[in-house]
Structures are given as C-alpha cells and as structure tokens.
Amino acid sequence: MPGPMARAGFSHLLYPGLNQAYLLAFNEYPSEYDRFLNIDSSSKSKEEDLIIAGFGLLQKKTEGTQPYYDVMKMSDKREYVHDTYALGYEVTEELMEDELYNKIPQASKCLATAVKQTTDIFGSTVLNNSFNSAYAGVDGAALCSVNHPQMVAGGMVANKPAVDVDFDPIALQAALLTWETWTNDRGLPVLMKPKYVVSGPAQRDIITRTLGSTQLPGSTDNDINSLRDWNLEKSILHYLVDDDAWWIMSRPADHFLKWFWRIRPTFRAFDDPQTGNARYYVRLRASWGFTHWWGIYGSSGG
C-alpha cells in the first residue's frame, strides 16, 4: 500500500512560479450504469430473486364439473451479495501546510471521478459478460443465449442469433423478428416492446443511420426504412469491452438487469491524531447482475 502523499513527491507545488497546475478529475459525461440497470436499495446483507411462471390458458369446463386448477412454478433463486469497495488517500500535515496552489485539498474531486468510473465499469460487466455462461441467470444460461429453457413448456428460446453478426439493418430486422416471436415459460407470446439499441462508440454512426434514415440504409431501391416503426432509441456506452457487440433492450422497468445499493458512496475525512496526516476516503457497498433474460437481445458481433 502506498504511503502518505508527502512534500518530496509534490515539490513543484511548494514554490511559486507555476503558471497552472491541473487536477485531472473529469466528470463531463453523466453516469451510464443507471441508464440501463434497474437501480434499487437494500437494507440486508444480500438480496434474492426468483421467477414465477404464471398460469396457462383457460380450459373448457363442462356443466357440473370442477374447473381445471393450474399450478405456478418457481425458478431457482438468484442471489445478489453486496460487496464493499473503498479508496482513499493520505496527506502529510506538512504538505497540507506548504502546498501553494490549493490542489491537494481539491484531490477529493479525483475520488468522485473514481466512484463514477468504478460504478460504470462494474455496471457494464452485466453486458460485457452477457455471452459468458459462467455468468448465468436463474435459468442457468448466460444473459444472451440460444438455449433459455422454458420451465413449464419445456422448449428453448433464443435471445441471440445462432451465429453472431455485426450490427446492420438486416441484422436488426432479424433480431426484432426474433424478439416479437418470443414465448414465455408456458409457450405463450411475450408481448414486450424494445426501446434501445445499445453499443459502444464504434457503432454510433451505423446505429444513427439505421434508426434515423427514412429510406433503408444501404439500399439502392429507395425502400422505406420500416425499422423506424419501432421508435427505437440509440444508447452509446463507453465501458463496453467489445466494439462489435450490440444489444436491443426494453425499458429498464420491463427487464431484469439490476444494481442494488446497500450503502451509497460515502465520503469521509479525518486527521490521524498521532501523525497529523489528513486522510480522505470513499466507501460503498453494492451488487449488480441480472435475474432473467426477458427484455434483452444481444449479439457479440461477426
């Protein structure tokens, strides 16, 4: 662990003559994790989710007989265990006294930047791991899989292409057709509207053209761009690790991607009574992940 920040490491801040000293703590972009995750609070050490398959269709009842009594079925539990994360820095009493440019007291801004980047990076792991079966939901499959089992109907449902493809209008059309033909655990239609096309900065241009053009992009026949009927919105995230990966998402209220705050970021400052050093740190407790795949379609790219 590094020791306290002392005068020897910041000698340029101890003497006059600098034109400017810049503190690199940027927060111009708003946070991203809360744009695509459901944000909730927790008062327990962990939270548990499960999915309950509802009832099937009504059955014909003949006169004088009992109605058919159906049974709901529950999935396995998905646990969200809240881990603790913290970061701090320590400054010697002498450095605080002798620094001339007031940058050391402003270093807490860097802690705020660290919190923002940490939460965005952690939150983005839900999508970055969405094709990895080691990170499974309640049905035992990855978030985006061709083999999501139906608890009651017994079939399999896919929310990714059999062969991953790059984003383009044709790939989006195929994805939306798959989306619209999803069936639930009873084999009945899942009537859920998509809302966002999500990817990284490398896909910004083609997503913008695909969603915004009145004619179908890439077509020489002046075809109408029927994709506009879906009223999809572009969402560009900056902490995705695969430039080619892309997803379609419903509104957060309609899907099961989650972030739990057990303790929101708490900033503290105190002096060490023996050394006189000033200590600053931030601490949080949180968990994140997904419970079920509904409302998400993804491709890792071609």
Q: Which residues contact 270 (CB under 8 A, 6 or more apart)?
A: 278, 279
User: What is the structure's pLDDT at 14?
Assistant: 40
Could you report the per-residue pLDDT of 102-149, keeping only the tens digit for each?
A: 767 677 788 888 999 999 999 999 999 999 999 999 999 999 999 999
* Residue whose C-alpha is closest to residue 135's, from 301, 296, 291: 291
d(CA 53, CA 74): 6
User: What is the structure's pLDDT at 219?
Assistant: 64
Q: Which residues of the chain have pLDDT under 70?
A: 1, 3-29, 100-101, 103, 105, 218-222
What predicted TM-score, i.e. pTM, was given to this entire model? 0.85
User: What is the structure's pLDDT at 166?
Assistant: 97
Could you report the per-residue pLDDT of 127-138, keeping only the tens digit for each?
A: 999 999 999 999
User: What is the structure's pLDDT at 293?
Assistant: 96
User: What is the structure's pLDDT at 239?
Assistant: 96
User: What is the structure's pLDDT at 27?
Assistant: 58
Considering the domain delimited by 41-55+75-299, tell me its CATH architecture: Alpha-Beta Complex (3.90)
